[in-house]
């Protein structure tokens, strides 16, 4: 070491330099010194410089959690258990600074640190960098998220009902504040579908989205198909297993699926679609007989969320059609094999072709997985700069009425068993521009359904036609003199 040099780093203490250099002696480890230039520490090991990770040098990002139910509990658990991994992925530690709940004294899962519980949600969101909302409902969730955005926080939400009802208000506020808003968990639990539609397919043109997006109804219909149970019995079993709420209205009447359909349609077609724009029909009218008939004709019944872009032409108006209803799906279609409480979304795009996304659509841990993915994305932008996707509504396509949707019908009816009846039915369909694809007549009715003498059962499947023409046709057929009753009307999708 030359005389007058620092004993650790070798710098001349009185030399003229362009940058001030502070040298620190570390505990003696062979060949290791640390030099701090200004404020940035550099670890030098045997002549090699190693810059500390951003997670070591960046201050923690404060995360506020709104809600501590099934999903919120799992979010809190993952933030704690995976803290080191998340910090490495983000480039900064994620610090859970509070969990807003209605009653801080209520019993909680052991995974929840009770010292973080607070009933002051408004105060919590104003001291956070990222606000995670899993409380559900429209209010106070909307007001709290707007308050968080105004305070400069990024927002992650799993609230499908709020986004479907008033998403544009949140998107506009986030854009004005220059902060992120992410909502992967709002549509299909753990299934990554929001990001692929919003980002991965941004260079393509999506034509159609067809999805099973409600696990409760899929479980119920699957049980009806595999065990022969009736609807009420299958719903009770779903409740016993925790798949359905005590009040299953949102599931069985299609409200939950309709909210998700509105979100997916808005993303896929770059057009604002609200919950009120979605035609909705639940599964309450589906009978065990319908399910049995579906099996005989090579179909299964699924509650489908359908969003499609129509270009008009001979089949109807141009615009976006969004609807939720039970439908017959051919057993050859991938969606037919989605069993139990699983979800799946089938996307048809012009260039990419057919894509299917499948997985668990509900549950605490699966949904929390999607939430944490969004948290990491928002946190990375805080550390590295940048901003997530904004709302895209440039297309401004018209929202078509339910009557403009193009589908196929399968109609089951009881008629007088005499010559000429089928001809009358076919004539009624032709008068409304609806053609018949197939007619089936069973040789014997089910054991539980004793045939009335002189009555035959017909099953008619139509070709594709506008919903308005099909519904008018069914009404006309019901008025025919030899028709005793229309037993069932189901749409056919995915053929």
Point out the residues that are catalytic: 260
Return d(Cα 114, Cα 124) in angstroms, integer: 15
**φ, ψ dihedrals at 53, nearest 5°:** -65, 155
CA distance readout (Å), 411 to 458, 461, 489: 8, 6, 5
**φ, ψ dihedrals at 72, nearest 5°:** -60, -40
CA distance readout (Å), 300 to 335, 336, 359, 393: 9, 6, 19, 35
Quickly list DSSP for 128-186.
-SEEEE-S-SSTTHHHHHHHHHHTT-EEEE--HHHHHHHHHHHHHHHHHHT--EE-THH
Burial (CB < 10 A; 0-12, 13-18, 19+), residue 72, is buried
Which helix (DSSP H) or strand (DSSP E) does residue 305 occupy?
A: strand 299-311
Antiparallel, parallel or unpaired: β 318-330 and 436-440: unpaired
Both tokens of residue 307? 């969003």
Kindly list the strands in the beta sheet with 40-45, ordered across the sheet, starting from the edge strand earlier in the chain: 21-24, 32-37, 40-45, 48-50
């Amino acid at each position: 070491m030359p005389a007058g040099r620092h004993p650790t780093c070798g710098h001349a203490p009185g030399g003229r330099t362009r940058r001030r250099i502070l040298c620190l002696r570390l505990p003696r480890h062979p060949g290791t010194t640390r030099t701090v230039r200004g404020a940035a520490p550099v670890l030098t090991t045997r002549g090699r410089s190693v810059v500390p990770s951003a997670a070591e040098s960046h201050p923690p990002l404060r995360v506020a959690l709104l809600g501590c139910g099934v999903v919120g509990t799992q979010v809190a658990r993952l933030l704690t258990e995976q803290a080191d991994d998340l910090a490495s992925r983000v480039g900064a530690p994620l610090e859970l600074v509070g969990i807003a709940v209605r009653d801080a004294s209520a019993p909680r899962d052991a995974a929840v640190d009770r010292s973080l519980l607070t009933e002051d949600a408004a105060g919590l969101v104003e001291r956070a960098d990222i606000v995670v909302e899993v409380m559900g409902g429209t209010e106070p969730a909307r007001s709290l998220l707007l308050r968080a955005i105004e305070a400069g926080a990024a927002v992650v939400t799993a609230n499908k009902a709020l986004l479907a009802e008033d998403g544009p208000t949140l998107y506009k506020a986030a854009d004005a504040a220059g902060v992120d808003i992410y909502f992967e968990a709002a549509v299909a639990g753990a299934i990554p579908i929001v990001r692929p539609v919003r980002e991965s397919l941004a260079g393509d043109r999506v034509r159609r989205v067809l999805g099973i997006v409600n696990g409760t109804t899929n479980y119920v219909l699957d049980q009806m198909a595999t065990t022969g149970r009736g609807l009420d019995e299958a719903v009770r079993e779903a409740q016993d297993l925790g798949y359905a709420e005590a009040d299953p209205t949102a599931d069985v009447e299609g409200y939950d699926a309709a909210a998700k359909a509105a979100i997916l349609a808005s993303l896929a077609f770059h057009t604002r679609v609200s919950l009120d724009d979605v035609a909705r029909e639940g599964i309450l009218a589906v009978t065990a007989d319908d399910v049995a008939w579906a099996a005989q004709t090579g179909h299964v019944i699924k509650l489908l969320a359908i969003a499609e872009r129509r270009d008009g032409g001979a089949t109807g108006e141009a615009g976006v059609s969004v609807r939720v209803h039970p439908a017959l799906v051919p057993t050859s279609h991938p969606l037919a094999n989605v069993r139990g409480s699983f979800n799946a979304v089938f996307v048809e795009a012009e260039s990419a072709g057919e894509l299917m996304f499948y997985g668990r659509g509900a549950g605490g841990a699966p949904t929390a997985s999607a939430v944490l993915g969004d948290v990491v994305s928002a946190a990375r932008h805080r550390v590295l700069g940048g901003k997530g996707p904004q709302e895209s509504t440039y297309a401004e396509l018209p929202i078509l009425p339910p009557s403009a949707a193009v589908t196929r019908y399968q109609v089951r009816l009881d008629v007088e068993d005499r010559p000429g009846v089928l001809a009358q039915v076919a004539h009624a369909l032709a008068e409304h521009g609806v053609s018949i694809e197939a007619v089936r007549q069973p040789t014997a009715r089910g054991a539980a359904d004793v045939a009335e003498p002189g009555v035959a059962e017909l099953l008619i499947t139509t070709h594709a036609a506008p919903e308005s023409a099909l519904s008018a046709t069914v009404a006309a057929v019901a008025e025919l003199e030899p028709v005793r009753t229309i037993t069932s009307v189901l749409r056919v999708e995915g053929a």
